[in-house]
Amino acid sequence: MTTTDPRRARQRAVPARPTTPRPTTPRPTTPRPTTPRPTTPRPTTPRPTAGRTGSGTGRVSPSARTARAVPTQRPGARRGAPAARPTTGGTPPPRGPRATEPRPPRPHRRHGLLAAFVVLTLLVFSVRLVYVQVFRSEAIAAEALASRITSRDLPAERGEILDANGVVLASSVERYTVWVNQKQVPEFKVTEGGRTVAAGAEGAAPLLAPLLDISEAELGALLVGDRGYVELARDVLPETWHAIRDLRINGVGADRTAKRVYPAGAIAGNVTGFVGRDGEGLAGVEQTFDSILAGTPGTINFERGHGLQRIPGGVVEETSAVPGSDVRLTILRDLQWKAQAAIDKRVKEMGAPWGAIVVIDVPTGEILTLADSGSVDPNDPAGSDNVDRFARSVSSTFEPGSTAKVVSMAAALETGVTTPTDRWKAPYRYTTENNQTFRDSLPHPTLKLTSTGVLAKSSNTGTVKIGEDIPTQVRYDYLEKFGFGSKTGLGLPTEEAGTLIPVENWDGRTKWAVLFGQGGVASSTLQITQVFATVANGGEYIAPHLVKGFTSPDGELTPRDPVERTQVISPETAADLLLMLESAVDEGTGGQAQIPGYRVAGKTG
């Protein structure tokens, strides 16, 4: 006997017999036109159902197989209403799968998404725009302006160097440094009648070359490349630059500079000195007082266009340069000219390597002339040998020789060792107590001389005999008081202090030789001249100086600081010594210094 599980039968089989559908009451709905969906009956394949026996599992009998039937619509039923469910034995069978068709496309949905995306994008941009225009506008504008701002230095006008009477010895004139931005030269083009007649570096070179005095080939090479700055020429005259500017060659520009000129040429060139390529002082007063002469540079910030040109009406911020002060010297140009001509002539006549003339105003210590042979022309310093580019009168030192006898005699008079009229025997050769022998320049018999005669005849042996009574330390002290071994503070960078060997290092011969300017002492022409100026000034040492004062850009004159003053010897000693030096010119070795109608004191070297 085969049995069937009624639950499985309800799930897997549809009764074969026709059933009467259960009447249903349709729910009221809002009618809307619908397109009926056609249904196609689909045959079903009966599924075997597992039977259960008391003793095991059996097969489903053929009589138990059923076929699914597609429910049919009740005649007269409303189209579109749900069909009644067939029932078997009062239990509604499960609804079979209903055939479906693809849903039609819905473009309105895609359109909505696209519109939403567009709106969102516009909203983002709007928010950003508001942020930039309202909250960041000033900062962004400042950044944009900063990218267009170019800064340039404004050179300060260098002060002038004037002589004691205000005559210009050094001044500055306006010049230009012309340069090119090689990247922009290819944009240059000149057209005539719609036809290009010049373009790029090839077209610019023939136009620029005559103005800059450079060959076309050389200039063309400078115009081609990718560098942003290439210098073409320096010290270009203003009118030349204006002609270049009128050519409107792309990338060609210029910076205003100043060129130092020296109207007097080599006159006082050793004093004024000269400047370097960039205007810095390299020698003389130009170097010593460079910070005063140079002034303070200014700056200018301006808006520039793509071609580096200045934008008319754009932002301009300028800090004006402060001109340098003028330096007024004590030098007299005309006297300097005369002295230079005289020393140049004398050096040539004597075949000497060089010579110098120093003129000091005794009461003030002002130097009226500081002349060196072969003085440098500051307009062309390269045209002079290196030793002639500076003031040799203060930088070259040598043994003072017999001129130092003035110091020895001053010490002897001041300490009471001798008087101008004391008598001495001066042999040609003399040997000291420590067996050091000295002699005069020319052989002669023993001379009977006063102290004045010893100085006038420039006797070495007589000077040593007088100096035997001057203590060694005193000899050193007076040399030091008169300025040997120290710089005068003149104001020239190449000044040398000379040599004065410390007294404790003097040997047995040096302690005598210094009495007539040999051995442990060396000095410059200026230092020797200062010795005589001290004597002429009543024994008062006044530090020699070259500068009277400084004139500010607004015309105010500031005198230089007071100079050092020291009483080296008494006025009485100085007066006696001055008379003794007159005798040296009138009766002694300095006869060539005589000037008719004038009292002249001096001493040969």
Give the C-alpha separation, 212 to 216, whole Å.
10
Looking at the predicted structure, is the pLDDT value of residue 44 above 90? no
Q: Residue 51 has what pLDDT?
A: 41
State the CB neighbour count (10 A cutoff) for residue 539.
21
Percent over 70 (pLDDT), the chain:
78
Residue 317 has which token pair? 């911020």
Residue 219 has which token pair? 């200039």
Average the pLDDT over 454-459 and give the result. Answer: 96
Give the C-alpha separation, 590 to 603, whole Å.
6
pLDDT digits (tens, 9 = 90+) for 168-190: 999 999 999 999 999 999 999 98
State the CB neighbour count (10 A cutoff) for residue 528.
23
* Cα–Cα separations (whole angstroms), residue 48 to 62, 76, 92, 109, 500: 9, 37, 21, 48, 140
Looking at the predicted structure, is the pLDDT value of residue 27 above 80? no
Pair 277, 382: CB distance under 8 Å: no
Looking at the predicted structure, is the pLDDT value of residue 453 above 60? yes
Pair 262, 272: CB distance under 8 Å: yes
Pair 473, 409: CB distance under 8 Å: no
Set out the domains of the chain in order of their start, with CATH numbers. 176-260 (3.90.1310.10), 367-593 (3.40.710.10)
Looking at the predicted structure, is the pLDDT value of residue 92 above 70? no
Least reliable range by pLDDT among 82-91, 147-156, 255-264: 82-91
Please, which residues bridge with residue 337 across strands? none
pTM here?
0.71
Average the pLDDT over 305-326 and give the result. Answer: 76
Q: Residue 181 has what pLDDT?
A: 92
Looking at the predicted structure, is the pLDDT value of residue 545 above 90? yes
Over its C-alpha atoms, the chain yields an Rg (Å, rounded) of: 58
Average the pLDDT over 406-420 and give the result. Answer: 97
Pair 497, 449: CB distance under 8 Å: no
Angle of helix 525-536 relative to helix 405-414, nearest 10 degrees, comes to: 30
b/e 571-584 (16+ beta carbons within 10 angstroms → b): eebbebbbebbbbb
Looking at the predicted structure, is the pLDDT value of residue 435 above 90? yes
Pair 343, 356: CB distance under 8 Å: yes
Beta strands 499-500 and 521-522: pairing type? antiparallel
pLDDT digits (tens, 9 = 90+) for 332-353: 999 999 999 999 999 999 999 9
Give the C-alpha separation, 197 to 190, whole Å.
6
Q: Residue 101 has what pLDDT?
A: 65
- Calculate the average pLDDT of the chain: 84
CB proximity list for 3: less than 8 A, separation 6 or greater? 51, 52, 53
- The closest of 24, 48, 547, 95 to 329, measured between CA atoms, is 547
DSSP-assigned letter for residue 515: G
Q: What is residue 134's three-state secondary structure?
A: helix
**Phi, psi of 555, rounded to the nearest 5 degrees:** 95, 5
Chain centre to alpha carbon of residue 460 = 59
State the CB neighbour count (10 A cutoff) for residue 496.
15
Looking at the predicted structure, is the pLDDT value of residue 94 above 70? no
Beta strands 326-329 and 161-162: pairing type? parallel
Chain centre to alpha carbon of residue 509 = 55
Residue 576 has which token pair? 């006696």
Pair 131, 137: CB distance under 8 Å: no
Give the C-alpha separation, 245 to 186, whole Å.
17
Least reliable range by pLDDT among 440-444, 454-458, 487-491: 487-491
Q: Residue 316 has what pLDDT?
A: 77
Average the pLDDT over 277-303 and give the result. Answer: 91
What is the number of residues in the chain? 605
Least reliable range by pLDDT among 298-302, 400-404, 463-467, 550-554: 298-302
Pair 600, 579: CB distance under 8 Å: no
- Indicate the helix (H) or strand (E) that contains 183: none
**Phi, psi of 292, rounded to the nearest 5 degrees:** -80, -40
Residue owning tokens 């005069």: 440
